[in-house]
Chain A
């Protein structure tokens, strides 16, 4: 398994809790990241992305005034989006299955349930580096391809 050096990647950490931002920043530093910017909600993050070329966004869900889902939808669908393809790791204490599906349908790349560990955050970052996903632009969805497992033998109408 390849080991990755994260020092050239730009991270944007989006969370309305300064405690959580501090925790994620410290873990990222521990993993070797050098370039880390912060934003306090979805609107702040969107504005930051207009001037900061983030390679990975690590985003909370529960924030105000703009929450994480609204932010991801805007990022993926706005015609003037500053970075529509950037991988978004949603990091949230919402852990119910329907919430995970909702986040997936908003266009996130990876989901990580709080409370976090360095091991888990490292594995999600590895996933977005190792397995870049194609994007799908359809009438009702724009974002990473939601089909994780490609089955060449599948012949039914619904492939998700």
Chain B
């Protein structure tokens, strides 16, 4: 039809293939990938430090919420940002629980306009759980303790959603 909006198709210059050599020393093969994964594993100690620093910031933001300061939206935004970062980082270093807990916390906080005592308690429980995971270096699913942790938080979340 003549009145349909027209779309122009453009073929960009294929500069990448021209710049990239194929094969030979330095090409990304299975060994390179294994070494690159090992680089991430070697950064695990750094990750634990980063997470501890982020947790300190998130506790500070929570204190601001509890103190009922005027910048409550900023505190919630910071808690969202940090928990979102934790969701995105933990699993790379084997801390799957941090990714799960960061995910549930940022999903919870994202929907909040403000936080009352119940919401603050939920946030507190999540942060405490993440602090425990880092302090005890609970990798993977955290074993029995990790399962219990998630189960407990799940019950809290279910209770809050009913209220």
Are A and B interaction partners? yes
Q: Which of B31-39, B111-119, B126-134, B142-150 contacts A (4 or more CB under 8 A)?
A: B31-39
Q: Are A9 and B87 touching (Cβ within 8 A)?
A: no
Segment touching A, from B2-10, B64-72, B151-159? B2-10
Residues of the A chain whose Cβ atoms lie less than 8 Å from the Cβ of B21: 4-5, 8
Interface string of A54-67 (1 = CB under 8 A from B): 01100000100000
Contact pick for B87, options A3, A93, A118, A132, CB 8 Å: A93
Bin the interface of chain B by size: 35 or more
Tell whether, in the assembled complex, residue B90 and residue A115 are in contact, meaning their CB atoms are under 8 Å apart. yes
Tell which of A26-34, A40-48, A100-108 binds the partner: A26-34
Interface residue A36 (Cβ < 8 Å from any Cβ of B):
no
Q: In the complex, A119 Cα to B7 Cα: how many Å? A: 36
Q: How many A-B residue pairs have CB under 8 A?
A: 147
Binding site secondary structure of chain B: helix
In the bound complex, residues from chain B placing their C-beta under 8 Å from that of A22 are 43, 46
Contacts of A58-99 to chain B: CB distance below 8 A? 62, 85, 87, 92-93
Whether B28 pairs with A31 at a CB distance below 8 angstroms is yes
Task: Say yes or no: A7 contacts B84, CB within 8 Å.
Answer: no
Chain B stretch 35-94: residues in CB contact (< 8 A) with chain A: 35-40, 43, 46-47, 50, 81, 84-85, 87-93
Q: Output the least CB separation between A138 and chain B (Å).
A: 4
B11 touches A (CB below 8 Å)? yes
Q: Which residues does chain A contribute within 8 Å of B9, judged by CB atoms?
A: 134-137, 145
The 6 closest A-B pairs by CB, nearest first: A30-B36, A114-B88, A115-B91, A93-B88, A118-B36, A85-B12
* Chain A residues at the B interface, C-beta cutoff of 8 Å: 2-9, 17, 19-20, 22-23, 26-27, 29-32, 55-56, 62, 85, 87, 92-93, 114-119, 122, 125-126, 128-129, 132, 134-140, 145
